[in-house]
Chains A and B, each alone.
Chain A
Amino acid sequence: MSLSTASAPVSGADRIDLVRAKALNIRRSAFTMVHEAQLGHPGGDFSAADILATLYFGVMRYDPDEPRHADRDRFIMSKGHCTGAFYSVLAQAGFFPEAQLKTYMQPLSKLNGHPNRNYLPGIETNTGPLGHGLPVAVGIAIAGKLTAKDYRTFVLTGDGELQEGSNWEAAMAAGHRKLNRLTVIVDRNRLQQGDRTEATNALDPLDDKWRAFGFHVEMIDGHDHAALLDVLGADPSGRDKPLCVIANTIKGKGVSFMEDNVSWHHGVPTDEQFAQAIKELI
């Protein structure tokens, strides 16, 4: 069988509408899960929602009925704490029933606080400790070259996560090997767990760092669906380098009292805050 490209059947303007609608659903569903579990990482769920919606509903090639199809595009959620958004997009994409989202972090649930590939389809590797996604993605991309496959490999990292040295070991290998079908997306929300990234261990100039490691770099607004579709959907064949997309985002994006507020890294909403947020997420 052949895998369909998610972007094939819908025209440009409709595609943007579809991605926008999916991103909204991700935010509403993730926040509902976090509210019910009274656990989770909603700030990072919201900053990543538009990126995830773009990948799964505008860019990636996959078949939820055959989740380990050898030709599938791979996605790795390296910022594994943001399972509210990740599980939501997987459910919307058809990997498991949306009703299962209700079990988020409940005893014996397959929806563990961090993703487990042995529990659910659509998960490539177990993440949670930061700085693990990119090395695995590099291995997947090398395997793609060895087997002459044309799948693409995407990995989403946090920005604070890039303080882990393992990312830079992997980046060096990706640049050295010119893994052009590999794309790193940095959720550049400028906040980590306890503070701003630049006040903790500064990352800027981040684009120069990736360039120095052999990447082609694109800096975009990580909430602009047209820009995300453009940059992530572009055919990598003509490029002789891996791609790093620095997606400038807002942690907590979409809910006024959560935006750019570090306390929502793992903050959980009261009933009133939840109601207010759902009102804003339309």
Chain B
Amino acid sequence: MSAATKTNAGLYDCRDAFSKTLEALAEADERVVAVVNDSVGSSKLGGFKKRWPERLVNVGIAEQNMVGVGAGLANGGRIPFVSCASCFLTGRALEQVKADVAYSNTNVKLCGQSPGIGYGELGPTHHSIEDLAWLRPLANLVTIVPSDPWETEQAIRFAAAYEGPVFIRVSRYPVPALDHKIDRIEPGKTEVMREGTDVAILANGVMLHKALRAAEVLAESGVSARVVNMVWMNPLDVEAIVDAAGTGAVVTVEEASVRGGLGGAVAETLALRRPVPMEMVGFPGFVPTGTVDFLFDHFGLTAAGIAAAARKAISRKG
């Protein structure tokens, strides 16, 4: 667990892995720069700023400009990591992301901080449950949803080495470090975290941990659940999805809207290639006020909620 700092109870804030990895990359390669919107603290880039003040471009509270400036820095031969709360990066600056980054196919690395409902009580304006849906149709934009500090580090390293636009979700919700059987992530390759035959649970990000616990819950009542880590939203591991349908029932779980994100991607794939009963776990729309954990419980983004969705999908098998 090279780049991470444990918070409490063995849990990690993936922003630490993000900023430590970025500093390591910046140390080794002077082309690496950071672009922020008054988000030095919330991106944990205080250390970066101290070491390379001239390589941290803070444009102020101006996300559209921030993304455009990122594209310009790439044009000038830099490797910009644009780091901003995911809601503003992908919502406010969506057209810049589309035209200046994805369509122009520029070497910009977009880091969506505290995505999903990471901002809890601050409410839907600060939540980013729509990001996956509105980025998914953008051609060229490699999209990664890491689940733990190791995967976050891997995603940042991949982005730096890869020539082209990348979006990475960087979560603040405390997560444990997972036991990965691979030694690096590869574009479009999912990781099967647990084998199973009755149902396949496809999850990413923070929800992968809850999916794994759901599989344990299901195992207690004799249900064998496969858990697949959908860390790549684009490129999508289509074959892994088709393979998952071989269990006869599929559940998707994401810290996002159930419309258009991972659930949408999997549903499209299954409809075209191998239709099977499917359930989606995620948020139905704007959420009420509450802490992150309250909202997860409220909408069934819990081990119990996922297990219930799995049973429902299984019950619908023909």
Residue ranges of A at the interface with B (Cβ–Cβ < 8 Å): 37, 39, 80-81, 105-114, 116, 126-131, 160-161, 163-165, 192-195, 197, 200-201
Contact = CB atoms under 8 A, between A and B. Distances in A.
Given A114-B123, A164-B61, A108 B38 contact: no
Interface in B214-236: none
| Nearest 7 CB-CB pairings of A with B | A201-B60, A128-B125, A163-B60, A113-B122, A105-B121, A107-B290, A112-B123
A200 B123 contact: no
Interface residues of B, number: 28
A160 B40 contact: no
A112 B38 contact: no
Contacts of A80: 125
Interface in B57-103: 58-62, 64-65, 87-88, 91-92
Nearest to A128: B125
B289 A113 contact: yes
Given A114-B122, A163-B60, A201-B58, 17 more contacts: A105-B289, A108-B289, A108-B290, A110-B289, A114-B126, A126-B125, A160-B60, A160-B61, A161-B61, A163-B38, A163-B59, A163-B61, A165-B62, A193-B39, A193-B41, A194-B40, A201-B59
A192 B65 contact: no
Interface string B293-309: 01000100000000000
B137 interface: no
A94 to B, nearest CB: 23
Main secondary structure of the interface of B (DSSP, over half): loop
B291 interface: yes
B61 A37 contact: no
B285 interface: no
A207 B65 CA distance: 23
Contacts of A106: 289
Contacts of A110: 289
Contacts, number: 88
B125 A129 contact: yes
Contacts of B92: 129
Given A111-B289, A193-B41, A194-B40, A131 B125 contact: no
Contacts of B87: 129
B287 to A, nearest CB: 10
B186 to A, nearest CB: 36
Nearest to A106: B289
A113 B288 contact: no
Nearest to A111: B289
Most chain B CB within 10 A, of A111, A126, A127, A130, is at A130
A41 B37 CA distance: 18
21 contacts: A39-B121, A105-B121, A107-B290, A108-B288, A108-B289, A109-B289, A110-B289, A112-B123, A113-B121, A113-B123, A113-B289, A114-B122, A128-B123, A131-B61, A163-B60, A193-B39, A193-B42, A194-B38, A194-B40, A195-B58, A201-B59
Nearest to B87: A129
Most chain A CB within 10 A, of B91, B121, B126, is at B121
Interface of B: 38-42, 58-62, 64-65, 87-88, 91-92, 119, 121-123, 125-126, 288-291, 294, 298
Nearest to A109: B289
B61 A194 contact: no
B291 A193 contact: no
A264 to B, nearest CB: 13
B298 to A, nearest CB: 8
A107 B61 contact: no
A55 B132 CA distance: 41
Contacts of B65: 165
Nearest to B63: A164
A105 B126 CA distance: 14
Nearest to A192: B38
B37 to A, nearest CB: 8
Contact of A193 (B38, B91, B290): B38
Contacts of B40: 194-195
A88 to B, nearest CB: 17
B97 to A, nearest CB: 16
Contacts of A129: 87-88, 91-92, 125
Contacts of A195: 38, 40, 58
Nearest to B85: A129
A88 B119 CA distance: 22
Contacts of A131: 61
A39 B125 CA distance: 16
A33 B51 CA distance: 38
Nearest to A202: B60
B128 to A, nearest CB: 11
Nearest to A129: B125
A80 to B, nearest CB: 7
B62 A164 contact: yes
B122 A37 contact: no
A158 B38 CA distance: 14
Contacts of A194: 38-41, 58
Contacts of A39: 121-122
A104 to B, nearest CB: 9
A80 B124 CA distance: 13
